[in-house]
Amino acid sequence: MKIAISAQGNDLQAAIEPRFGRCQQFVIVETETMECEVLENPNIAASGGAGIQTAQLLAQKGVQAVLTGNCGPNAFATLQAAGIQVLTNVTGTVQTAVEQYKNGQLQAAAQPNVGGHFGDPRSGGGRGMGQGGMGGGRGQGRGRR
């Protein structure tokens, strides 16, 4: 069975990437042989529709399941429409996740676990949020009546 794991690196020791549509790459593993292929995600900087486009890319690769940290509603619907099982809230390394999957320790998600645009730095959601702050002033007013 071919499964895709959103990863922060390019091998079995890589950490799971919590973002699906905007992850840097996927490690695609054939669970019978543990043979791996690294797929760079061309949609990481897409102006919109990253999750949908990434889901379509994985469907074209013949993936049957996706293991990731988070998956938004549009990507989730696209993966389900393609008959791809979605497993969210996955953490640890790619190898650990594959072993957990093979041992039946991970459950398929029934619905997305984050809202749309999670992880898009332009939307202020998830990763990539810049520094900001509230109340930087030092009110020295001397209110007189």
What's the pLDDT score for residue 125? 47
Quick: pLDDT tens for 71-101.
999 999 999 999 999 999 999 999 999 999 9
Quick: pLDDT tens for 10-54.
999 999 999 999 999 999 999 999 999 999 999 988 888 899 999
Is the pLDDT reported for residue 111 higher than 60? yes
Is the pLDDT reported for residue 106 higher than 60? yes
Tell me the average pLDDT of the chain.
85
pTM of the predicted protein model: 0.78
Mean pLDDT for 123-137 is 42
Question: For a pLDDT cut of 70, what percent of the chain falls above it?
Answer: 79
Is the pLDDT reported for residue 139 higher than 80? no
Is the pLDDT reported for residue 132 higher than 50? no
Of the pLDDT bands very low, low, confident and very high (cuts 50, 70, 90), residue 130 is: very low
104-136 in b/e burial notation, b at 16+ Cβ within 10 A? eebeebeebbbeebbbbeeeebbeeeeeeeeee
